[in-house]
Amino acid sequence: MNLKTPGESYFHLHLVSDATGETLINVGRAACAQYANVLPIEHVYPLIRSMKQLERVLNEVESNPGIVLYTLVDKEIRERLKERCRELGVPYMSVLAPVVQLFQSYLGGSPTPRVGGQHSLDANYFKRIDALNYTVMHDDGHMTDDLESADVVLLGVSRTSKTPTSIYLANRGIKTANIPLVPSVPLPPGVEKLKKPLVVGLVASPERIVEIRQNRLLGLNAADLGASYIDREAVNEEIILSRRLCARNGWPLIDVTRRSVEETAATIYALYSERRRRAIAET
């Protein structure tokens, strides 16, 4: 069965890293997203820290020529990769080199290369772990008695991407709780009196929410159990009530109908950062 869309083409994308490869994956996918009908076949090679490991990578590149992106600290390994890519006639690039060179020209001095430096067990790392633990424990309205310790509290009706957005923010080190807005169910005590956290409402169009809820019920084989859950008028009333709640409390409201989780989280992060800047300026 051929699932290829007419007009689509494929190419091999080799991502070679001496760390986890996450940086390369993100950069590669961001670049590929600019080409609507070109799809990458990703070959990810993490933790490449020896010549023996590199030779296996180079054999794969020779068998499947394509673009090679890399982040390698070891000069000998890096030079061997570049040399072999030139011999094979495949394009290659260090995704961090231009950025590091820019930093060096501005800051002066030479950088101190560290394998996987961005993943080191520093204070920021443990802050992210702490945020993830907090966010998981405060998902979907659980443990609402200590919401004042959150950085962000998300509110929204069912299927407005509260949980994935919370997890994404937690990966940025932001402790995030989320609370579902359910018809006839009051908010947990104290939510409307929160001072420290940034409270944000999430909404979407009734059509979008109904579509997602229908798919959800089908996946659970419970399509006959959710008449009001997928009734457009009932859903529209839920959204109206959530909008009124946010307006009454002066909480920012984000329409996620056409936003990815990443875009929603980026907007919330910007609101959170601006709020912190104002608080610092006022002290």
What is the structure's pLDDT at 2? 42
Q: Which residues of the chain have pLDDT under 70?
A: 1-7, 111-122, 221-226
Beta bridge partners of 199: 153
User: How far is the C-alpha of 219 from the C-alpha of 30, rounded, in Å?
Assistant: 31
Q: Which of 100, 118, 136 is the last residue of a domain?
A: 118
What pLDDT, on a 0 to 100 scale, did the predictor assign at position 84?
97
Q: Is 63 annotated as a binding residue?
A: no
108 and 142 share a domain? no
Q: End-to-end alpha-carbon separation of the chain, Å?
A: 64
Q: How far apart are CA 279 and CA 283, in angstroms?
A: 7
* Number of compact structural domains in the chain: 2
pLDDT at 151: 98
Kindly state whether residue 216 falls inside one of the protein's structural domains: yes
pLDDT tens, 148-162? 999 999 999 999 999
Query: Is residue 162 marked as binding?
Result: yes
The answer to whether residues 182 and 133 belong to one domain is: yes
Residue 36: the pLDDT is 85
Domain final position from 99, 118, 137: 118
Supply the pLDDT for residue 221.
Answer: 66
Indicate the pTM of the whole model: 0.71
Establish whether 261 is an annotated binding residue.
no
Is 193 labelled as part of a ligand binding site?
Answer: no
In sequence order, what are the residues at sequence separation of 6 or more whose Cβ sits closer than 8 angstroms to the Cβ of residue 75? none
The verdict on whether residue 115 carries a ligand-binding annotation is: no
DSSP 196: S
Residue 1 placed within a domain:
no
Is residue 3 situated within a structural domain? no
Structural domain boundaries enclosing 51: 9-118
175: left (phi over 0), alpha (psi -120 to 50) or beta: beta
pLDDT at residue 281 in the model: 82
Q: How do residues 25-37 score in pLDDT, each as one tens digit?
A: 999 999 999 998 8
- Is 116 marked as a binding-site residue? no
Instruction: Give me the helices (H) in the chain, please.
Output: 22-32, 51-63, 75-88, 97-107, 123-137, 162-170, 206-219, 232-249, 261-282
Do 262 and 153 belong together in one domain?
yes
pLDDT score recorded for residue 42: 95
Same domain? For 127 and 60 the reply is: no
Any known ligand binding at 205? no
Answer yes or no: is 61 a known binding residue: no
Residue 57 shares a structural domain with residue 114: yes
Residue 74 burial by Cβ neighbours in a 10 Å radius (0-12, 13-18, 19+): middle
Answer whether residue 2 is part of any domain.
no
CATH code at position 46: 3.40.50.2300
pLDDT computed for residue 1 by the predictor: 36
